[in-house]
Amino acid sequence: MEYTFTLKYQLTDGDSDLDALVERLGEAGCNDALVGIGQPGRLALEFTREAVDACAAVRSALTDVHHAAPSVRLIEVAPDLVGLTDVAEIVGMSRQNMRKLMLAHPDSFPAPVHEGSASIWHLADVLAWLRAKGNYPLAEDVLDVARAALEINIAKEGCRLPHLASKEIEGLVG
C-alpha cells in the first residue's frame, strides 16, 4: 500500500550545499519524496512510499534520510499535530462542522495537546474518535500514517527527557 507523510528536519551548517544534499537524498532512496528547502535551515520531505504498513514506510524513509544526511535533526513526522481546520480538510468537512462536533461532545472528544487561541490535537486521536462515531468516511492509510507519526514523534520527544524524569511524569499524567 502507498502511504503519504512528511518528514521535517533542521539542517546543520554542514548541510549548506542544498544541491548536494538533494543529490545524496536521491542516491539514498528518497526518490519518492518531494523535497522542500524554502525555509532557511529547514528541510521538508513529502514522501509517497510503498510499504507493508505505515510504520514501515515512515521508518524506512527515516533510515534513508539518515544515510543521506546523518547530521540533520528530525523536527516532526507529519501529519500529527493539527488544528481543527486541518482535521476538517482531511475528513472533508467544514471547520465549523468540526468545531460543532468538538463542542457537542466535550466528554468524549479528544483533549488537545495544546489549548489556546489555536488549539492543536494529535490527528490520530481525532481520527480514531471520528471512526468510533461511525458516520465519517476515513481512508485507512491516513489513520495508519497519523498513528505512525504520533508514535515516532512521542518517542523522539521522550528521548529528550532523562529516564527518571519521564518515569515520574508518567506516574503523574497516567
* Residue 128 burial by Cβ neighbours in a 10 Å radius (0-12, 13-18, 19+): middle
Residues 87 and 120 in one domain: yes
- Residue 162 maps to a domain: no
Handedness of CA 149, 75, 161, 108 (dihedral sign): negative
Instruction: Return d(Cα 65, Cα 93) in angstroms, integer.
Output: 34
- The reported pLDDT for the residue numbered 166 is 58
Residues 17 and 70 in one domain: yes
The answer for residues whose C-beta is within 8 angstroms of residue 85's C-beta and 6 or more apart is 95, 98
Tell me the three cell numbers of residue 96: 465549523
- Cα atoms in the 13 Å half-sphere on the side-chain side of 11: 19
Q: How far is CA 162 from CA 76, 166, 174, in A?
A: 20, 6, 18
Residues 124 and 69 in one domain: no
Residues 52 and 116 in one domain: no
Out of 13-17, 105-109, 137-141, 167-171, least confident range: 167-171
- Residue 144 maps to a domain: no
Average pLDDT over the chain reads 89
Residues 42 and 90 in one domain: no
- Is residue 40 very low, low, confident or very high in pLDDT (cuts 50, 70, 90)? confident
Asked if 61 and 33 count as a contact pair (C-beta separation under 8 A), the reply is yes
* Residue 37 burial by Cβ neighbours in a 10 Å radius (0-12, 13-18, 19+): middle
- Residue 56 maps to a domain: yes
Per-residue pLDDT at 120 exceeds 70: yes
Query: In terms of Cα–Cα distance, which of 79, 56, 82, 90 is closest to 8?
Result: 79
Q: Quick one: DSSP state of residue 120?
A: B
- The reported pLDDT for the residue numbered 16 is 74
**Residue range 118-126: mean pLDDT, rounded:** 95
- Residue 158 maps to a domain: no
Residues 19 and 45 in one domain: yes
Give the type of residue at 97.
N
The predicted-structure confidence for 48-70, as pLDDT tens digits, reads as follows 999 999 999 999 999 999 999 99
- Residue 174 maps to a domain: no
Number of domains in the chain: 2
The predicted-structure confidence for 74-118, as pLDDT tens digits, reads as follows 999 999 999 999 999 999 999 999 999 999 999 999 999 999 888
Q: By residue range, what is the domain housing residue 61?
A: 2-78
- Residue 61 maps to a domain: yes
Q: What is the pTM of this model?
A: 0.87
- Is residue 168 very low, low, confident or very high in pLDDT (cuts 50, 70, 90)? low
Residues 52 and 86 in one domain: no
Query: 113: helix, coil or strand?
Result: coil
Residues 60 and 111 in one domain: no
Residues 8 and 70 in one domain: yes
Per-residue pLDDT at 28 exceeds 70: yes
- Residue 73 maps to a domain: yes
